[in-house]
Amino acid sequence: MESVIVAIDGPSGTGKSSTSRAVAAELGLSYLDTGAQYRAITWWMLTNGIDVDDPGAVAAVCGKPVIESGTDPLAPAISVDGADAAGPIRTLEVTSRVSAVSAVPEVRARITGLQRAIAAAAEKGIVVEGRDIGTTVLPGADVKIFLTASPEARAARRSGELKGSEAADLASTREALIRRDAADSSRKTSPLAKAGDAVEVDTTDLTLPQVIECVVALVEEKRAAR
């Protein structure tokens, strides 16, 4: 099969990660979670006492951490300075600060360079998921998908199977998602946005297998057109 680059963008809770990993595995492609890279650099900043609310301080040190991403969709991995960061980058603290760090232009330039290098090295092709892949990182991607879903559906997915104060947990998760969307969509550098030539897929009422089937069909259609 000819190499193919697939860009999957969209806000949190739309099923990007699960869909991207499954599509990459099914089609024999590499996989890259770009959000994990921004989380990794945010975690490094917090761990090293950098004031993440000071863009100048963040910009001054963003070139220091060594971030390495595994591209196996069945076992995605990420390390910072040689240490496994897969767990630490998913904490609430990192989640609440990643938008501020990722808005710094120097950070985006650094991480975008890493992402493009990884995509260029993927011999069989790659599925890259994020928020600015089709618009900024890989504007020449062969297939561009933009996943969407209602805030309610996204919050429910993020919260998982809630127990106890279900309504409060769901409401707080929904509000957090909306705040992050606003921050990521309004930033000056590489905002969250749908590429003009991307296919929009609303996952609100779709099961994960249905979303995967839809994206795989779009990729295979592109390959057949070649």
Count other C-beta atoms under 10 Å from residue 143's C-beta. 23
Continuous H helices in the chain? 16-27, 34-47, 55-61, 92-102, 105-121, 151-159, 166-186, 208-225
The pair of structure tokens assigned to 172 is: 């707080």
Tens-level pLDDT at each residue, the chain (226 residues): 678 999 999 988 888 999 999 999 999 999 999 999 999 999 999 999 999 999 999 999 999 999 999 999 999 999 999 999 999 998 889 988 998 999 999 999 999 999 999 999 999 999 999 999 999 999 999 999 999 998 888 887 766 633 444 444 777 777 777 777 777 777 677 777 889 999 999 999 999 999 999 999 999 998 888 7
Count other C-beta atoms under 10 Å from residue 209's C-beta. 10
- Could you give the maximum distance between any two Cα atoms of the chain, in Å? 53
